[in-house]
Structure 1
């Protein structure tokens, strides 16, 4: 029997109804980053039912399951568990029951797929050898979870993987699998800025130093970084997503607070943009007569996600044989960011190859009527991740279990001699 057929048969044997129930339960009871206690308990219970040896509390609320089946390669499968501070507007019958919290990024689906994949592999042990490490990771949205799990001994307390795998649902017509070899997600940094002025009465601006005016100048000038300092062949985004100042219409406040993100296709480009941000913020504060220099603090940083070429070919090949070539697409790199690649570094500095792919999950009924004559036009007109209207087609669960099962089997069967030697890597 071919590997692709085996993967499809194993995936079909998982308890689909149970996976859908788990998904609906997790969606209705979302938990924010670092507080995924209920979710972790449900994952552990489900994995132990399939004979997986589980450890809870890794890196906070993380769960690590080990499914051993004799000698062979070790494959790590990761799913994220946390939700977002978003008020749901999807209208789903299993919508969030937690005020202001929603699984708006599909992590509930990823978690259910992880459990379904574990079940498929556990029930089909006679078809594979080796070890599968199943990681339910907390706090992906804050960029803290992967580092916390690694810092808590992920690769010291559990089998060190030969390869890491992860998948993420996205907007786009359900049934496709999106693979990118090489850079797939951007490096990112989140920055908090405080501008210091001198407050006073709105009728006497001459006696004040208005931090709102300075902050507005900063917002405008920051847009010139990508427009005027970055070469057109390079890809970057600078977004100011928060601007807070003042308490009343007739009071000029003493401070203004800005929150922004920087996304870049490489760490080098990210560092150049960060240097420009610091330069512009300081210069605009000086030009506006700020009473003191600004406070500039990088509060979160995530590295670029760069897929290993060999693993990307291996996984894309098994998916092509499973689903057909017309279902496999290459959308190119995106500007979103992930902390998944933080798991790909061992304590002695060895980089572990990995592959991260997307599963479009927009219901076809929604996709077909979306405005636009091209896929890219339609893509911008359907609810996507982080939207309060994000409502993936639950059928993506079975598709995801099949996709991950096939990827795991392909990597367990990979010829170690063809695997690129681990390289030493540095992470700032």
Structure 2
């Protein structure tokens, strides 16, 4: 089960070419028709059967020569509504749409890894599912996992993914167990008062005054109730109320987002959303207001399984990375990969592949109009997927 450095190097131009082609033709979530067709045709040429799911999602199924476990490897395909400003010769040809998060690289990496593994299928004992997911930026995974053939038929035993990550320098790999990417919820609060003339505030219930108190006190959750060592981020992005300067309105509306790495029970009173609702209810009661509170899930916390992380460190990364290049890492960004792992009870892990390199211009933030990746890190991703599959399907006892 040996694949040499030179063999990987022989795929360098191919993975770069695929990435650049996808980068030049970005597509928004659930609109990835060209990308999905590219994926299907490439996998078919490798002898891998495919299935279209969740409109533009693609699942490729590779059976080894012997029965065994089923491994899921996932890449996302969608772009962002951003006007590209990189000036690259292969920049987006679709105005207002750009691959500003590395998903073009993820797709290219998994395609080339699939090609290599297809050529080694006689050495595999089990099945690899290559999952190409649409609409990661807006929770496309929740649609995908409901489709037949994604998490079942055959049932998935473990799931792994990677994310090219510009905050980490090229050559470094971010990996740790536990919560590594934040859960995110959009919140909407409607505070219901009683309108009237500003000359007689005693006859009204002013929802704006109440809303101001709510906004100011929401910050106390993350600064006074939760340890600074447990990241929590509550941001109000929108406040709307009133129609005229001399009218106290009936309703004030507040919208924003919550991000946190909390991995405890949703029913615990210590959960950030439970704390949030308790505070809103208390303030509204103090002002004599009614309220409506809605939480809209965007993605759940990505929690790396401890045994999966141990497996990667002991048996996968050692093939191509020094131990000094592996660093603990977590962040407040959101990722819906949790749908393939902890949220559905499947062990697995998300690995951050550093792609930050000032000389390559790849040190810009994700979702920035000048974002790009260090293409030298694409082969690192290919190696990660290939060795994960080879090692995982070679033994049931590896951790």
Could you state the TM-score of these two structures normalised by the residue count of structure 1? 0.80
Distance in 2 (CA, whole Å) between partners of 1:175 and 1:149 is: 32
Residue 39 of structure 2: aligned partner: 43
Distance in 2 (CA, whole Å) between partners of 1:37 and 1:200 is: 53
Work out which of the residue numbers 109, 125, 131 in structure 2 matches 1:113: 109
Q: Summarize the Cα distance change of 1:364–1:7 in structure 2 as closer, same or farther, 3 Å threshold.
A: farther
Distance in 2 (CA, whole Å) between partners of 1:25 and 1:324 is: 32
SS of the residue corresponding to residue 3 of structure 2 reads helix
Work out which of the residue numbers 308, 317, 336 in structure 2 matches 1:311: 308
Work out which of the residue numbers 364, 377, 383 in structure 2 matches 1:396: 377
1:96 and 2:92 matched: yes
Superposition RMSD in Å: 3.2
Residue 158 of structure 2: aligned partner: 163
SS of the residue corresponding to residue 41 of structure 2 reads helix
Work out whether residues 181 and 301 of structure 2, in 8 Å CA contact, stay in contact via their aligned partners in 1: yes
Alignment of 1:4-403 (within 5 A): 6=3, 8-14=5-11, 16-56=12-52, 58-71=53-66, 72-143=68-139, 145-155=140-150, 158-171=153-166, 172-196=168-192, 211-233=207-229, 235-245=230-240, 254-268=251-265, 272-287=271-286, 293-317=290-314, 318-331=316-329, 333-344=330-341, 351-365=345-359, 382-403=363-384
> Which ranges in structure 1 are unaligned for 5 or more consecutive residues?
369-381, 420-428
SS of the residue corresponding to residue 395 of structure 1 reads helix
Task: Write out per-residue CA displacement over residues 220-263 of structure 1, whole angstroms, 9 at most, x where no aligned residue.
Answer: 21110011111345x13132252142698968775434122231
Deviation at 1:315, TM superposition (A): 1.7
Work out whether residues 161 and 349 of structure 2, in 8 Å CA contact, stay in contact via their aligned partners in 1: yes
Work out whether residues 109 and 378 of structure 2, in 8 Å CA contact, stay in contact via their aligned partners in 1: yes
SS of the residue corresponding to residue 265 of structure 2 reads helix
Distance in 2 (CA, whole Å) between partners of 1:86 and 1:197 is: 39
Distance in 2 (CA, whole Å) between partners of 1:146 and 1:44 is: 19
Task: Write out per-residue CA displacement over residues 6-35 of structure 1, whole angstroms, 9 at most, x where no aligned residue.
Answer: 264553343x33332332232233323333
Work out whether residues 11 and 117 of structure 1, in 8 Å CA contact, stay in contact via their aligned partners in 2: no
Work out whether residues 30 and 102 of structure 1, in 8 Å CA contact, stay in contact via their aligned partners in 2: yes
> Which ranges in structure 2 are unaligned for 5 or more consecutive residues?
none
Distance in 1 (CA, whole Å) between partners of 2:62 and 2:266 is: 40
Distance in 2 (CA, whole Å) between partners of 1:287 and 1:200 is: 20
Deviation at 1:174, TM superposition (A): 1.0
